[in-house]
Amino acid sequence: MHRMFLLNKLEVRNTQKGKGLFSTEVILKDQTILEFEKNYIGHHNNKTLQIDENKHQISKNPDAIENFINHSCQPNAYINFKDLTFRAKHKIGKGEELTYNYFTTDWDNEDVFQCKCGRKNCKKLIKGFRNLVLQDKKKLRPLLSPYLLRKLGDLERQPAY
């Protein structure tokens, strides 16, 4: 199966945070940037996307460009879980780093790290959706993986004390 990439619009570059994925041309709102490989394993690591409780997407190639998409608390892209594609949230300019919010995919981050996005709404410590307050979880609802949507629904059905 052939995966879709905007290869002529993407490049991996070194940054102060490590390697990141950047646009080399303008990418339009909702445009598909890449399609994630449909390869799954039963556990998570720092290169996986959590699809379900014991289902995690991972690229067979450790140098695949999707492995260099960094986190931002105010990202310019998102993951569409219906077709497992990475899409632009808004128009992305030439030279911008492509990011998504890791809180939309990971219940409990195995690799806790300090966020360096510098955004006003920065969460500072990235350690998984499970660790957000309910109000912040609800704000992410439109971007959540189906697994995290179910977890959020479970939390909302719990009686308030």
DSSP string, 35-94: E----EESS--TT-EEEETTEEE--SSTT-GGGGPEE-SS-SEEEETTTTEEEESS-B-T
Residues of the chain with pLDDT under 70: 1-5, 7, 110, 160-161
Q: Does 1 fall in a domain?
A: no
Locate 74 and state its tokens. 């105010």
111-142 pLDDT tens trace: 788 888 888 888 888 889 999 999 999 999 99
Domain count across the chain: 1
Locate 94 and state its tokens. 């030439």
Query: What is the model's pLDDT at position 92?
Result: 97
Query: What is the model's pLDDT at position 2?
Result: 52
Q: Does 2 fall in a domain?
A: no
Query: What is the model's pLDDT at position 3?
Result: 62
How far is Cα 8 from Cα 11, in angstroms, rounded to an integer? Answer: 8
CATH number at residue 85: 2.170.270.10
Locate 78 and state its tokens. 């998102």
